Amino acid sequence: MNPPPLHGVTVVALEQAVAAPYATRQLADLGARVIKVERPGGDFARDYDHAVKGMSAYFVWVNRGKESVVLDLREEADRSLLDALLAAADVFVQNLRPGACERLGLGARTLRERHPALITCEITGYGSTGPYRDKKAYDLLVQCETGLVSVTGDPAAPARAGISIADIAGGMYAYSGILTALYERERTGRGTALAVSLLDALGEWMGHPLYTQVHGGAPVARSGARHPSISPYGPYRCGDGARVFLSVQNDREWVALCERVLRRPDLVRDPRFAENPLRHAHDEELTAVLEGCFGAHTADGLSALLDGVGIANARLRTVGEFAAHPQLAARDRWREFGSPVGPLRGLLPPVEVYGREAPMRPVPALGEHTEAIRAEFS
């Protein structure tokens, strides 16, 4: 088998929590050597929960495939070891509080003067300048500050997104930025300094409600499990009491739904429903029409009918049902990897590289590689 794409790339990560570890785990999945530098006591995400056989589900998720070294940067020997690691590194990633690395002599400018080929990446909550520079920024708080919580939930109450979406957004932009910098370095021989804030990353993902508000003047309303601007798009009750989610994206699909599923061709040009803005404005009336017709079907029967006419649809699954999803099983997406608590199962990374499978390497115990790294770099 060919080596993975980032084989030979060394990443040193002074990281904690989710955003930076998520970025570096993507690099590890592509074959990079990721050396995770932890403070004495370890990354505090190790103790977020104990859901995975006593280990934190957060930590397992974002730290597979790394080497853990514990360093106390106040100690001269440990600081010297970090300097040796950085001298051999291709990439340095850190998500300490703004200014912390500069106080340690590890700021981007200082490091790149010493190591011109080094790529540095700083991940912050709100950026390294401005009035929010020193404000603590955890995932839910950034969701609040970007307006995401205001458009999530139902009309009665806002809600947090169910995953660490601000951290994921920041991690993915750091990951893609690092890949871009590695590509540029192949041409120029020089590294670069990258900076990503969670506010900017999630703000980019807020594009639809942001442009709607800024240029339309009307805020996007919370719509629960329904789409805020497309109709029909959401859950609809069937005769067996279960719900099917469906989505009509254009007038061609609307005609197919009316004529071949609802058996109501008269609805195609009904003045309430003739185009999407009208359908959305009359969503409650349209829902009553749809559920009146869907009452003659079971959820499974309706899903099969919708598939037959090319109408996108889905069933609401629990996370446990997703884990048992037949599509994942059919495509052989599960793999086993090691951890301090024994073998664990996880999904292969989303990007498939033809002819090469991502190395599903273990989750490290705290300081598991400290002595080996001291011996290698001292």
Three-class DSSP labels, 259-325: HHHHCCHHHCCCCCCCCHHHHHHCHHHHHHHHHHHHCCCCHHHHHHHHHHHCCEEECCCCHHHHHCC
Same-domain pairing of 259 and 343: no
Residues forming beta bridges with residue 313, ordered by sequence position: 246
Residue 328 lies in a domain: no
Residue 130 lies in a domain: yes
The CATH number for 277's domain is 3.30.1540.10
- The overall longest dimension of the chain from CA atoms, in Å, is 80
Distance from C-alpha of 185 to C-alpha of 47, rounded to nearest angstrom: 37
Distance from C-alpha of 219 to C-alpha of 270, rounded to nearest angstrom: 28
pLDDT tens profile 179-215: 999 999 999 999 999 999 999 999 999 999 999 999 9
Question: What confidence score (pLDDT) does residue 218 get?
Answer: 79
Same-domain pairing of 48 and 129: yes
From the list 363, 374, 377, the residue with the least C-alpha distance to 34 is 363
Question: What confidence score (pLDDT) does residue 235 get?
Answer: 96
Point out the residues of the chain with pLDDT beneath 70. 1
Same-domain pairing of 289 and 338: no
Distance from C-alpha of 15 to C-alpha of 63, rounded to nearest angstrom: 10
- Residue at 269: amino acid letter: R
Residue 185 lies in a domain: yes
Please give the model's pTM, rounded to 2 decimal places. 0.93
Same-domain pairing of 306 and 351: no
Distance from C-alpha of 357 to C-alpha of 306, rounded to nearest angstrom: 35
Domain that holds residue 156: 10-205+333-377
Distance from C-alpha of 38 to C-alpha of 30, rounded to nearest angstrom: 22
The Cβ of residue 52 has, within 10 Å, a number of other Cβ atoms equal to 16
From the list 33, 166, 47, 160, the residue with the least C-alpha distance to 95 is 166
CA distances (Å), origin 210, targets 66, 214, 376? 37, 6, 50
Which residues belong to the active site? Answer: 227
Distance from C-alpha of 313 to C-alpha of 162, rounded to nearest angstrom: 21
Question: What confidence score (pLDDT) does residue 1 get?
Answer: 67
The contacts of residue 235 (CB under 8 Å, 6+ apart) are 225, 226, 243, 244, 245, 316
Q: Which of these three, 279, 314, 349, is where a domain ends?
A: 314
Residue 211 lies in a domain: no
Per the structure, how many domains does the chain have? Answer: 2
Same-domain pairing of 100 and 248: no
Same-domain pairing of 165 and 66: yes
The CATH number for 131's domain is 3.40.50.10540
